[in-house]
Structure 1
Amino acid sequence: MKRDLKRMSQSPLDVLFIGGGITGAAAVYDAAQRGLRAALVEKHDFGWATSAATSKLVHGGLRYLKNLEFGLVRESLRERRILELIAPHLVYPLPFLVPTYRGTSNNLPMIGAGMLLYELLSYDKARLADHERQVPSFRLLSKKTVLAEEPGVDPTGLSGGAIYYDCQMHSPDRLTLEFVLAAAGLGAQIANYAQVDSLLKENDRVVGARVRDVLSGETCEVRAPIVVNVAGPWADFVSEMALGGEKKSLIRSQGIHLIFRPVIKNHAVVLRTRGGRHFFLIPWRGLTLAGTTDTRFEGHPDEYRVSRAAVDDFIREINEVFPSAQLKFEDICWTYGGLRPIVEDETDVEVEVYKASRKYEIYDHAREDKLEGFVTVIGGKYTTSRRLAETLLDLVEKKLGRAVTPCRTARAPLPGGDFGRWRDFLTEGARRHPEIGADMLQQLSLDYGARRENVLARLADERLAKRLDERHPIPAAAAVEAVETEMAQTLQDIVWRRTGLGTTGQLDEAALAAVASLAGERLGWDAARRQREIDSVQERLATHNIAG
């Protein structure tokens, strides 16, 4: 995958996507699958913002049943199965335990009824070739069994519980990247660190964008008859460029996550704050991941950071409903957060962001604003991004005057997803590479799927075969793969969004220096640039990614 803005600017295109989160990545892939000449630009790195700030779940959204959003839940459950099918190395079942309490809406009869409906809406969940990766059915539990399964659950008022299954993402960053790689493999032109400074307009039509290379400072014009705004929390700023100062109204919800010492055993635990918001405690790489919060954010999205106050508030909420954790600020290994855009039709009406729908909206500005060639997408959830892209591309083809091409993204495996049964894939890997430790083979299989041989082939170089940090079964070869194949441009790209070395906030200085050296050799960094890259990562690690 090569980054070439000059070539992009000189190429005839059918559609240009602005924004490289999961929505943009899925959309440019669908466009390329349909034979469209597609391009995508992202002002930072792929999936660096909202798409990276998820709870690392692919789920139907059990709580949306309470809002009677049956269509959204059904769509999400169908898409959960599809993501298991096309990216089985990155999406797999995870058990969830829901404790129930007397005198609350989380009582056993209510949860049991919800589980039954959830099961009915996921009627096609068994349609997977690998039967071992199928999502099991739910079961109700007694109080005694709940405490045996998860001893940390608060026993006060506990009446029982339930275990049900949804799916976990091994890495949302790498799943987003899989869509980008798939699109590039089909001929789409892709560039990260490419910021849209303005839109090109002719009469009442958007015909492209003026794009600045953030790395070099050079600018170019990228022209296409259809421009799609998939900029997530920045969507209103992009639409403002098209509408001459008017913004498509949206609000932004901030959600933070905390990673800390393990306080649960084998399940994700579903909890409810005293204020009525649900959140999860999730097993994550030997630690516990807690998320998410959901509060309105005021300010420019470029300025968003996780605040100490938000962390302290969440710690308090966790301790109130899961007191056995006895969580303190000093226990936090890492934090991350992001902004979710929500449509707000009436700007003078306050929206309670937790209760706001996760449905998406696609705005054809030819209909809304008499402006041709421009489409904006707002809202949605990671799980349904592929389906959103399918709906979006149907509209794009119609606007191009083409017959709508049948979508194939629900059946075609992503680049790492074509390997058959997971158990057989691991067994074959161990047979072919007995010199590789089981933990490293597992890690590379999860990270790359069928593409793991690209990384394993690099291990013939002794320098690249070494682990970067003994706490992580990740070889130096993964950093080289990130630069040479996956368009990583900065040390942060490699550490967080390609290798996952920084995911838990645990990374030593020697590993950081080794990655900077490998990347610098290939990206032409001098000593000063290497040090700046190291400093930027160390600053985030030292503060646990918390502002101030």
Structure 2
Amino acid sequence: MSQDWNAAWRQQVLPTLAQQPWDLIVIGGGISGAGILREAARRGWRCLLLEQRDFAWGTSSRSSKMVHGGLRYIAKGQWRLTRDSVHERQRLLDEAPGLVEPMSFMMPHYRGGFPGPRVFGGLLTVYDALAGRRNHHFHDAQQLRYLAPGLKEDRLLGGTCFVDALTDDARLVMRVLAEARADGALALNGMRVEQLLREDGRVCGVQVADSEGCEPMQLRCGALAVATGAWAERLRPRDAPSQLRPLRGSHLLLPGWRLPVAQAFTFLHARDRRPVFVFPWEGATVVGTTDLDHQDDLDTSASISSEELEYLLAACAQQFPQAEVVADDVLSTWSGVRPVVGSAHGEQAGKPSNETREHVLWLEPGCVTLAGGKLTTFRPQALEVLKACGQMLGREVSDDGAPVFASVPTLPIPGLSASQWRRLAGRHGRDLPRLARLLEQLGYGCVGASDTLWAELAFACDAELILHLDDLLLRRTRIGLLLAQGAAQYLPAIRSLCQPRLGWDDARWQVEEQRYRDLWQRHHGLP
């Protein structure tokens, strides 16, 4: 894998793309596209990924951060989805410690409420059976007062504890892309596919425009995989029926001290009986999520509405009344659009939360489109796409069970605690030695109250293909969410460290900083 994956590398490689005979081109730089690229590269395919904005720009940096088995899908009869999810969850826990970590979840039970301890315990027994291990137990009210101080106590019976997992979704995408690149794949951001090329009724390539100013180009391939999430229908034939139902999920991020929780809590919102979560993440506390039809332009970042803000604050007041959380406590917000395959449209559409999270493949000669799906099951989804592409190329694809992630070098780094090492190894994988050299140069300081090291910002500038400042602060690192006002007070220090590495002059930096501030206010501040 090339040491350099940055804007200078990008400028060098762009003129060569049209000269290469690609086996596979993947459109979409979220977790689905990254997973497809990784599986293709591992099999020796000549493959290229094109992302119109930035890697993980869409849903894959704005999810609920959960790698879970989909407990509520059992009640909907989606056994296969749950089974695949719990197996993939365990695979990710085993392969990517430090990036995907187990988290204890607590469901409190109240007298007269649903589900009660017996019903929920029965559901978890099935869940554990699918996972192949028992992982739940019940705490009575007295124990729960000790384990969860501040939880609503009126009519409290106790709580059932079970285990799922959390991740940094954007870093998960970057690590999967790194594995694909190590096996010879290319991945480029800022590349918008304007149309598909067809010959004799078959897709044979794409016409691409570069957002950074290069001339449009045509690229040819043996097979095309479209994994663009909520945008999946844009490149389909015009007469294809509309099947996607974009659903928005919004989240609040609170300072950890403002609503301190040592584990995740899941409960049903009193207003609509939808599950809501409150959980610790990156030293802060997340409250989410909503689930409603997204009517806004998909090309504009999704934003939380006033109604969603009020809904999530009401959830805090319902379950943690003593905390008295208000809007002014919110550090940041984010909203993602789920690419759900709708069962019906218009007036016939049911509640958003009742839609299936199953994925489907849409096929036409030379092209496979992945619609729907979940973060947790990105690997089996990628294999399904690759099998369909393989048939178009005359190649057999099977699931050999090979790991997604290479093992991380056992590299002691003096000055780091064990938990810091685990965190960096999980997020950076095989790039850990290069990051270690930057730590020697720059030290071990963190940016503000976050766990993010200054050296991580430097590494991202050098080797993680940053085109804009929000790529660095919202996706390569998460300090734009975790620090007040999008880390505004640290921007001078960030500029000092990062501007030379990015090769931006003063005018470019000022444009980028203003762009980032405006974007943060519109899409990550309060409505």
TM norm structure 1: 0.88
Question: Contact 1:76/1:383 (CA < 8 Å) preserved in 2?
Answer: yes
Cα 1:344–1:284 change in 2 (3 A) is closer
- Contact 1:101–1:108 under 8 Å retained in 2: no
Letter of the structure 1 residue corresponding to residue 294 of structure 2 = F
From 504, 515, 527, the counterpart of 1:525: 504
Q: Which residue of 2 aligns with 1:251?
A: 245
- Does 2:318 match 1:311? no
Cα displacement string for residues 400-433 of structure 1 (whole angstroms, at most 9, x for unaligned residues): 11223x335x432525x435xxxxx6xx63xx41
Asked if 1:7 corresponds to 2:5, the answer is: no
Q: Tell me the distance in 2 between the aligned counterparts of 1:384 and 1:328.
A: 36
Structure 1 counterpart of 2:101, from 85, 92, 95: 92
State the SS of the aligned residue for 2:480: coil
Q: Which residue pairs with 1:402 in the alignment?
A: 395
Distance 2:420 2:490 in 1: 16
Alignment of 1:232-247 (within 5 A): 232-239=229-236, 243-244=237-238, 246=240
* Residue of structure 1 in register with 2:191 after alignment: 194
Which of these residues, 137, 141, 144, is aligned with residue 142 of structure 2? 144
Which moves more between the two structures, 34-43 or 1-10? Answer: 1-10
Alpha carbons of 1:523 and 1:9: their partners in 2 closer, same or farther (altered >3 Å)?
farther
What letter matches 1:362 in structure 2?
L
Q: 1:378: how far off?
A: 0.6
For residue 42 of structure 1, report the CA deviation from its aligned partner. 0.3
Partners of 2:226 and 2:232 within 8 A in 1:
yes
Amino acid at match of 2:399: C
**Residue matched to 2:182:** 185
Conserved? CA contact 1:455–1:478, under 8 Å: yes
Distance 1:17 1:544 in 2: 28
Does structure 1 conserve the Cα–Cα contact (< 8 Å) formed by 2:175 and 2:427? no
How far off is 1:7 after superposition? 2.1
Which letter maps to 2:311?
D
- Aligned position for 1:301: 298
Decide whether the 8 Å contact of 1:260 with 1:288 is kept in 2: yes
C-alpha distance in 2 between matches for 1:450 and 1:211: 31
Q: 1:547 to 1:247 in 2, by over 3 A?
A: farther
Contact 2:179 2:404 survives alignment (8 Å): no
In the alignment, does 2:375 pair up with 1:382? yes
Determine the C-alpha separation between the residues in 1 that align with 2:92 and 2:419. 24
CA contact (8 A) 1:65 1:73 kept: yes
Distance (whole Å) between structure 2 residues aligned to residue 321 and residue 257 of structure 1: 16
Runs of 4+ in structure 1 displaced over 6 angstroms?
none
Query: Which residue of the partner structure matches residue 65 of structure 1?
Result: 74
Residue 83 (str. 1) matches residue 76 (str. 2): no
**In structure 2, do the counterparts of structure 1 residues 402 and 53 end up closer, same or farther at CA, with 3 Å as the change threshold?**
same
CA distance in 1, matches of 2:520, 2:483: 6
Q: Could you tell me the percent identity over the aligned residues?
A: 29
Q: Is the Cα–Cα contact under 8 Å of residues 14 and 38 in structure 1 kept in the other structure?
A: yes
Which residue of structure 2 aligns with residue 471 of structure 1? 449
Secondary structure of residue in 2 paired with 1:95: strand
Q: 1:283 to 1:466 in 2, by over 3 A?
A: closer
Question: SS state of the match for residue 437, structure 2?
Answer: helix
Q: How far did 1:320 drift?
A: 2.8
| CA distance 1:364–1:547, shift in 2 (3 Å) | farther
Q: Which one of 313, 321, 342 corresponds to residue 344 of structure 1?
A: 342
Provide the secondary structure at the position in 1 that maps to 2:22.
Answer: coil
For 2:297 and 2:453, the matched residues in 1 are separated by 38
Alignment of 1:127-526 (within 5 A): 137-169=135-167, 171-239=168-236, 243-244=237-238, 246=240, 248-262=242-256, 263-274=259-270, 275-303=272-300, 304-348=302-346, 349-365=348-364, 372-404=365-397, 406-408=398-400, 410-415=401-406, 417-418=407-408, 429=412, 432-433=413-414, 435-436=415-416, 441=421, 443-461=423-441, 464-465=442-443, 467=445, 469-506=447-484, 508-509=487-488, 511-526=490-505
Given residue 504 of structure 1, which amino acid in structure 2 is its aligned partner?
A: L
- Matched letter for residue 286 of structure 2: L
2:38·2:404 contact (CA, 8 Å) conserved in 1?
A: no
Q: Is the 8 Å Cα contact of residues 319 and 326 (structure 1) preserved in structure 2?
A: yes
Q: Deviations over 1:514-542 (max 9, x none)?
A: 33344432333221110111122333455
Deviation at 1:139, TM superposition (A): 0.8
Does structure 2 conserve the Cα–Cα contact (< 8 Å) formed by 1:38 and 1:189? yes
Which one-letter code corresponds to 1:278 in the other structure?
A: P
State the alpha-carbon separation in 2 of the partners of residues 95 and 104 from structure 1: 22
Structure 2 CA distance for partners of 1:230 and 1:69, relative to 1, 3 Å? same
How far did residue 34 of structure 1 move? Answer: 1.5
Give me the whole-angstrom Cα distance separating, in 1, the residues matched to 2:244 and 2:192. Answer: 21
User: Do the aligned partners of 2:291 and 2:353 also contact (CA within 8 Å) in 1?
Assistant: yes
Greater alpha carbon shift after TM alignment, 177-186 vs 481-490: 481-490
Tell me which residue corresponds to 1:422.
Answer: none
Q: Find the aligned partners of 2:225 and 2:126 in 1 and give their Cα distance.
A: 36
Counterpart Cα distance in 2 of 1:535 and 1:145? 50
Q: How much has 1:200 moved relative to structure 2?
A: 1.0
> Please, which runs of 5 or more residues in structure 2 have no aligned partner?
none
CA contact (8 A) 1:344 1:351 kept: no
Identify the match of residue 29 of structure 2 among 14, 20, 41: 20
Number of the residue aligned with 1:118 = 127
Comparing 538-547 and 190-199, the one that deviates more: 538-547
Task: Work out which of the residue numbers 39, 58, 63 in structure 2 matches 1:30.
Answer: 39
Where structure 1 has 5 or more consecutive residues not aligned to the other structure, the ranges are 126-135, 366-371, 420-424
1:182-238 CA distances to partner (integer Å, 9 max, x unpaired)?
A: 111111121111111111112311111111111124211111121111110111112
Q: How far apart, CA to CA, are the structure 2 residues paired with 1:542 and 1:140?
A: 43
Distance 2:490 2:446 in 1: 5
**Which range moves more in the overlay, 503-512 or 44-53?**
503-512
Q: Does the 8 Å CA contact 1:333/1:544 hold for their aligned counterparts?
A: no
Deviates more, 1:1-10 or 1:186-195: 1-10
Return the alpha-carbon distance in structure 2 between the equivalents of residues 114 and 467 of structure 1. Answer: 45
Partner SS for 2:524: coil
